[in-house]
Structure 1
Amino acid sequence: KTALATFTHTMAFAAFTAGGFMVGVSGYLLAKKRHEEVLKPTLKLGLVTVLISFLLVGLTGDWSARVMTEQQPMKMAAAEALYNTESGAPFSLFTVGTLDGSRSVFQIGVPKFLSFMSTGNVNGTVEGINDLQAKYVEQYGPGNYKPNIPMAYWGFRLMIGFGAIAALFALLTLWNLRRKNEIPNKKWFAPAMIWMPFLPLLANSFGWIFTETARQPWTVFGLAKTADGVSPQVGVGALWITLIGYVALYGVLAAIEVKIMLRAIKLGPDEHVAYTEPAEVGGSSDKPLAMSY
């Protein structure tokens, strides 16, 4: 169940990112009045891909949230800054907590929506951070079982926020295309298209940041802590060398890839595609067509 929920959510997000890239490249060139005949269909395809995949991201995300609540309740509690167990818990739109991370001071939320998202029942019970901390101390022994609450809370919201902005841009652009059969003649269009490839990517990134930080202090929940995964045979120097090496390698590869992609984007599609008559390659236009393998 866990693998299927996370796999479908990841694949939906991958399609969302690909659609955003298509929209960004097509829209950028169209805003410059280039290759309109070729790029209008690709823009429409990208917009439809963004909207459909955004819907799938939401559906698979809802499924993943219920699995997460069942298997890693502290992660969901941290994502919502829910400090105490509640039935009919609200979904937080904005929360201010105390510096020691023990309770919320101010909150704006959607009533009962967190319970529905987590359990499928508007009056369902969602465990809070403080209650889970006490439960885990009793179950696993002394320790701090809370992740970084602000990072989890804002990572979750930035993931949703960047994705929603991309979907909104896509919806406005597609609506204008269907209504007027032309790209929006607005000042926001060109900047929006430049940002379109990055918005899904940012949403993806903050989603992964949330996923990997909100599970702390566990490597495998309930079985192995992150602190236990450190090898005593590997020194700090080796860790630094490995980290710097990976960052440098992937940084160089990223720079090369971005340079190649930008060059291809600026060139745009070929203005004219060469067409060779069949007779010129040894065939005859008089011969009937035949299937061949």
Structure 2
Amino acid sequence: MDTVTLARWQFGITTVYHYLFVPITISLSMITAIIQTFWVRTGNEKYLRLTKFFGKLFLINFALGVVTGIVQEFQFGMNWSEYSRFVGDVFGAPLALEALLAFFLESTFLGLWIFGWDKLPKKLHLMAIYMVAFGTMLSAVFILAANSWMQNPVGTTFNNGRAEIDGVQGFLEVMTNPVFLVTFPHVLAAAWMVGGALVAGVSGWHLARLRRLGDEAPEQDVKAFKFSARLGAWILIGASLLAMITGDLQSKAMVQAQPMKMSAAEGLYNTETNASFSVLTIGSLDGSEEVWALKIPGLLSFLSGHETVDGINELRERYATQGYYQFDGTQTKLQQEYAAELKANYPGLDPVPNIFLSYWTFRLMITLGMAGAAIGVLMLWLIRGDRLPKPGRLWTGLMVALPLLPLFANSFGWIFTEMGRQPWLVAGVLPTAAGVSPTASVAEVVTSMVVFTLLYGVLAVIEVWLFLKYTRMGLPEVEPPLDPADIDDDAPLTFAY
């Protein structure tokens, strides 16, 4: 393997692993806040126990997410210095805002929430966890704005050999990028699918365990986990519907900005009117033509928002003669200004991504997400009324699979998003091969990749062990926090976990 391939593998491994924590952080922080709101409003102890139970799982995930995210920044200087130089002026603003506003907001109020149970009034303490949840979403705003610019480079100009934001107006264009405006709600919906499924899966497993205990099962535990199981399942189902709606909007924005990505996702080799969506396609070994396919008529045209969808072969020929254009035949300002540089330095560039990966990751994203929602519906049916799920291997397997299905759907969705953009780092502008550090050797990249992979492997063991340990422990025994007015101002802070 060459340096480019190895650098891509390393970034892919670390990014996919880090993103396993992101949707849980975004969703579980808000779900914990919602459950704590029930406690503040009702004073019912079951809500307090659920808050501290899922709050502990949230903190474990948050800590590991921060650790794994730090490594991402190292790679921009290690393996992708040319990419960093080219996009630094564009990425500097949103990433700085993400650190200064979002991350500081999360960490500050998370500290207040952890240590302030006996120091802050109930409503002020509740506000702290809501601010943490708001901070996680604000972080997603800036990160997704930067990524959406890579998919559709608006608001920028080519100057001094790199992309630069075109003034205040350009920054506003970056933050209101049409791709970003549909990607953000879709990512939030997908994250909420994971959080809802996690709460429902953990609660469902405990309900089966409590049924096995029979009359010895604590009634308060049954009521608490019944509430959280239903809450998680409804969140999962509602978020799934929202993900379908926003996903449809995102596919239409994707077709406009990157027509090749949709064609690769479908394995559509030739332009087609009233284009079908294939449930399964088998292509030739060189990926140049379709051999056999099982299709749903007209669905691809519906998803793309256009009756006629351009095929891979036609888009490849058009790029060879005319260069990179969006679906409607336009280019962004940066794509126009960089076109001559691109033609001179990268002649013969093949604009087709890996069709096999684009095709299957797109379908795995949809299939796994729908399967998770289906289990959520089944769960609501099985625990309706006073019913408890029947313990056994089948139920345990479903509860283990429940959070993993939407979590892996998120991962496959991001793999599709990034692999479908290839061979571009910045769509229609900077090829992937042009972004690698010129001084990085194969040996250096292999060494760092092995070290990071082993480190992440150790962290994965720690994460799973902690999660399983505290999940099995069940609801903690709690005492309502003391009134801050009754506590000495010089008393040490209470650590709730």
What is the CA distance between 1:275 and its match in structure 2?
Answer: 5.7
RMSD: 2.0
Once residues 50 and 277 of structure 1 are traced to their aligned partners in structure 2, the CA distance between those partners, rounded to angstroms, is: 35
Residue 125 of structure 1: aligned partner: 308
Structure 2-normalised TM-score? 0.53
Structure 1 position 47 matched with structure 2 position 253: no
More helix by share: 2
Structure 1 position 232 matched with structure 2 position 446: no
Q: Which moved more, 1:167-176 or 1:26-35?
A: 26-35
SS at match of 1:95: strand
Structure 1 position 74 matched with structure 2 position 288: no
Residue 470 of structure 2: aligned partner: 264
Residue 88 of structure 1: aligned partner: 274
Once residues 443 and 285 of structure 2 are traced to their aligned partners in structure 1, the CA distance between those partners, rounded to angstroms, is: 34
Residue 188 of structure 2: aligned partner: 11
What is the CA distance between 1:269 and its match in structure 2?
Answer: 0.4
Once residues 276 and 164 of structure 1 are traced to their aligned partners in structure 2, the CA distance between those partners, rounded to angstroms, is: 41
Identity %: 42
**Is the 1:163–1:200 contact (alpha carbons within 8 Å) kept by the matching residues of 2?**
yes
**Is the 1:20–1:166 contact (alpha carbons within 8 Å) kept by the matching residues of 2?**
yes
**Is the 1:94–1:108 contact (alpha carbons within 8 Å) kept by the matching residues of 2?**
yes
Given residue 117 of structure 1, which amino acid in structure 2 is its aligned partner? L
What is the CA distance between 1:72 and its match in structure 2?
Answer: 0.6
1:26 to 188, 203, 208: 203
**Is the 1:93–1:109 contact (alpha carbons within 8 Å) kept by the matching residues of 2?**
yes
Q: Which segments of 5 or more consecutive residues in structure 1 lack a partner in the other structure?
A: 283-293
Q: Which moved more, 1:184-193 or 1:215-224?
A: 184-193
Structure 1 residues 98 and 186, CA, compared in 2 at 3 Å: closer, same or farther?
farther
Once residues 426 and 481 of structure 2 are traced to their aligned partners in structure 1, the CA distance between those partners, rounded to angstroms, is: 60
Structure 1-normalised TM-score? 0.88
Residue 106 of structure 1: aligned partner: 292
What is the CA distance between 1:225 and its match in structure 2?
Answer: 0.5
**Is the 1:24–1:194 contact (alpha carbons within 8 Å) kept by the matching residues of 2?**
yes
**Is the 1:173–1:183 contact (alpha carbons within 8 Å) kept by the matching residues of 2?**
no
What is the CA distance between 1:42 and its match in structure 2?
Answer: 0.3
Aligned residues between the structures: 275
SS at match of 1:166: helix
**Is the 2:209–2:391 contact (alpha carbons within 8 Å) kept by the matching residues of 1?**
no
Once residues 478 and 391 of structure 2 are traced to their aligned partners in structure 1, the CA distance between those partners, rounded to angstroms, is: 32
1:116 to 302, 312, 320: 302
Structure 1 position 59 matched with structure 2 position 245: yes
What is the CA distance between 1:186 and its match in structure 2?
Answer: 7.8
1:144 to 343, 350, 353: 350
Higher relative contact order (CA 8 A, sep 6+): 2
Once residues 82 and 69 of structure 1 are traced to their aligned partners in structure 2, the CA distance between those partners, rounded to angstroms, is: 13
Given residue 251 of structure 2, which amino acid in structure 1 is its aligned partner? A
Structure 1 residues 19 and 111, CA, compared in 2 at 3 Å: closer, same or farther?
same
What is the CA distance between 1:261 and its match in structure 2?
Answer: 1.2
1:247 to 453, 461, 482: 453
Q: Which moved more, 1:233-242 or 1:66-75?
A: 233-242
SS at match of 2:425: strand
What is the CA distance between 1:24 and its match in structure 2?
Answer: 1.3
Residue 67 of structure 2: aligned partner: none
